Each structure stands twice: as structure tokens, then as C-alpha cells.
Homo-oligomer: A and B are copies of this chain.
């Protein structure tokens, strides 16, 4: 089990913790499994854990045993570098998979922290690989998830490489918006679970720059921002920020 904090908060297996009957199946798992395959899934999840806001799911350096699927809530992962700076490498919401970076070295390379009270499903990696052999669709689905992570990272590199602060923020907000929409939440009205500093770290900016850019977007009427609450008033203009069009 990941660490002491979690040990105290694990949730006993119930019918609901079976993937087969999970309400998130369509987000987490491939579609089109037959009955036998669905039956096999029963063994995939070990436990569910409750992680409270501010708690670590795992620390960098910890031996890698399991991936964790976000059942609900919101996480960040970040790497600490030699001189103590924190680089946020990703934000994760319902249905997304945590710990993929750890497969290569068999150690976690990130700290992963809940940004709100959350629940995760523990997926022992050995089991995932085992069951994958029996369910080609599951294997393929897993490959797609890893690939998606790579694509997402490339998008961030792209932002950091050549975009101005305001453009990065626009892209960031739109990305969140889409992901919320996919989960049935409002795409125009949501809460930023992370701090300005965390946003800045993720986008390669300082927190003051994040704050100023958000204020600017608000002055332009494109968004309304009140502390952690954002409303996207004009998605069209917001997305045109990114493409470098002037209107």
C-alpha cells in the first residue's frame, strides 16, 4: 500500500468497487468487452482509497507497485529538482490514471497530491499486465492511455516553447474546460482546484504572471474570475488567443 496516510483510509471492497459495475466504466475502460472479459475485470482493482485534500497519494522514490485510477477528485503530480524547485507535471481528474511515469524505473518519479478530497482505485500493475494478456482490448486501451499522456506532455512543451503568458493560460483553461465537459460538468463554469503557483509551475510561469494574465483576460471580458471560480464568457475569443489571431 502506498503510504501510511492511505493505509488508514482504505475502503473495503464492495460490489461498487468492481470495474464491471462502476459508473465510470466508459471513461476508464474500453467499450465492447464481452461477458467473459467483463468477468475477468473483477480482479483488476485491489482497493479503493480515500485521500484528503493536501495528502500524498505517493511520494517520489517510492517503489512502484500499482497505478491509481482517479475515481473522483483532483490531483497534481510534480517532480522536485536538485535545488528544491517544484515542477508540476500534470493535473488529473476523474477517470485518469496516475503513476504511468513510474513503470520505466520501477520507482515513482513524481509526488502526487490530492487537491481536493478524492478517491482512487488501486490497480496493481502486475495484475493489469496479466489481465491485459487475456483481454486484448484492455491492453490496447492501456496503450492508448499512455500514448495520450505523451501527447498531452507534447502540448505542454509546445506551450512552454513558444507561447506568451496569456496564450498559455487560454490553452490551459480550454483544456480544463474540455475535460470537465467530457465528465458531464459545466465547460464554462468551474473551480480551479490548484493555486496560481501550481498553474504557473505547470505552464512555466511565475504566480504573479498567472495572476496578471488572468486579470487581463477578465478585463477583456473573455473570462470572469473570482478567486478559484472561473467562468469562460467567450470561448471563441479564448481559443483565438491561442492561434495568434488578433481578433
Q: Are B101 and A154 in contact (CB under 8 A)?
A: yes
Q: In the assembled complex, how far is the CB of residue A51 from the closest CB belonging to chain B, in whole angstroms?
A: 22
Known: A82-B242, A83-B244, A160-B161. A139 touches B133 (CB 8 A): yes
The A contact surface, by secondary structure, is helix
Number of A residues, CB within 8 Å of B? 45
Q: Are A151 and B109 in contact (CB under 8 A)?
A: yes
Q: Are B146 and A147 in contact (CB under 8 A)?
A: yes
A22 at the binding interface (Cβ < 8 Å): no
Which of B85, B139, B143, B157 has a CB less than 8 Å from the CB of A160?
A: B157
Q: Which 9 A-B pairs have the closest CB atoms?
A: A103-B147, A104-B147, A153-B153, A104-B148, A160-B160, A161-B204, A83-B244, A82-B243, A146-B146
- A101-B154, A149-B150, A153-B153 given. 10 additional CB < 8 A pairs? A81-B162, A101-B147, A101-B151, A103-B144, A104-B150, A130-B136, A132-B133, A143-B146, A161-B202, A204-B204
> Residues of A at under 8 Å CB distance from B?
79, 81-83, 85, 87, 89, 100-105, 109-110, 129-130, 132-133, 136, 139-140, 143-151, 153-154, 156-158, 160-162, 201-202, 204, 242-244
